[in-house]
Homo-oligomer: A and B are copies of this chain.
Amino acid sequence: MNRLVPQSQAAMRQRNLSRVLHTLAAEGPLSRAAVASRIGLTRAAVSTLVDELLRGGLLVEQGPGRSGAVGRPGTALLPTDRGPCGVGAEIGVDHLAVCVMDLRGTVRARLTARTRNRDSDPGQVLDRLAGLLERLAAEADGMGLLPAGLAVAVPGLVARDATTVVRAPNLGWRGVDLAGRLPQDLGPLTVDNEASLGALAELWAGGLSPVPDSFVHVSAEIGIGAAVVVEGQLLRGVHGFAGELGHVPVRPDGRRCTCGARGCLEAYAGEEAVLRAAGLDPGPGVRVDALTVRCESGDRAALQAVRQAGSALGIALAGAVNLLDPSRVVLGGALAGLAPWLLPPLSRELARRTAVAAEGRPTPVPVTVSRIGPDGPLLGAASSVVRTALDTPGTFLNGR
């Protein structure tokens, strides 16, 4: 058995380096003593780990820290704001966005372009995105930041290889592999569904909670996606296609959906469906904002359309809550702006249809509006790279 011990020691050292780094990214600046008490290691052990991270340039020291320990004040530690960083990108239906985030989780640069990506030629869109990324990389370089990876959020299903967009109906894309089509010097590429990345951003915004969160995160835009987070882990599904809330049946014999089936949630609560039901033509530029204005002014057709969408969301989410028993439901995406009118019918359906398991849990399951807003997918993308860097500090500590 002895031959396994060195391997395990090395793995444990990596894990402990990562725990120090994660703690400082989430709660820094902190003294060595404060880090030690938070992660349950001795001060001596933490000092060794910190020295290694300082030598490797992943941590920096700042004047006297806020440690309440007796004796000389500890020096406050913080992840570097130079060195490894995450690059995030988002391909939306009518915009492209890119950003760079340092190890502290701060967005250091961000570029956005309004473009029409609906029914688009993937080559053109990717060329434009590559241009934005090159400009962003120059910005990062100027700040001493070194991209450790690129994550791209797309409104569609992504294969488990994490580079191929299997299907993005609102872009009109099918089977588009992004590998090799974006700048190669940003580190490893991963592509992910926007709803998944939005949910991860929401999860990570919650900080290092002692009890990992379990929730259903709804991204209601033109398409309706969801992400199921179970004890802090995103449930991806066997093919990577979990979270297709938009095609959960809510009126089995009802409206025809773009997918060919009848009565899908998206046919009642997707952005276009709601705009149409409110008597608005969902042409280019006509968005949820217009609906918000009408709801505020008391427009009956608009209010009725939003109420119907809220009920439909409530029916679909009642199914999800019965199946998954999450601690809460989080509403993100464009429709979150309609929360004042959407939430009452949504919560009513949810309460009524999840009563059987009501004992011992809040009824209805709390529904909250995303803390992050429409930036969720972009921030989730950049964060996913930063978190990978924090998980594997050894990658940046060569030869030590």
Contacts and interface: CB of A to CB of B under 8 A. Distances in A.
B247 A3 contact: no
Given A236-B325, A326-B238, A244 B352 contact: no
Contacts of A63: none
Interface of A: 1, 3-5, 8-9, 12-13, 16, 41-42, 45, 48-49, 157, 159, 166-167, 169, 174-175, 214, 226, 228, 230, 235-252, 259-261, 264, 315-316, 318-320, 322-327, 349, 352-357, 359-361
B259 A325 contact: no
Contacts of A1: 9, 12-13, 16, 41, 45, 48-49
A176 to B, nearest CB: 12
Contacts of A241: 325, 357, 360-361
Given A167-B359, A241-B325, 15 more contacts: A1-B13, A1-B45, A8-B9, A166-B357, A167-B357, A226-B323, A238-B325, A241-B357, A242-B325, A243-B325, A244-B325, A247-B318, A247-B357, A249-B353, A323-B323
**Copies in the assembly, this chain:** 2
Contact of A353 (B42, B247, B324): B247
A166 to B, nearest CB: 5
A315 B238 contact: no
A325 B235 CA distance: 9
Residue among A13, A241, A245 having the largest count of chain B Cβ atoms under 10 Å:
A241
Contacts of A247: 318, 322, 353-354, 356-357
Contacts of A244: 322-323, 325, 354, 356-357
Residue among A167, A245, A318, A327 having the largest count of chain B Cβ atoms under 10 Å:
A318
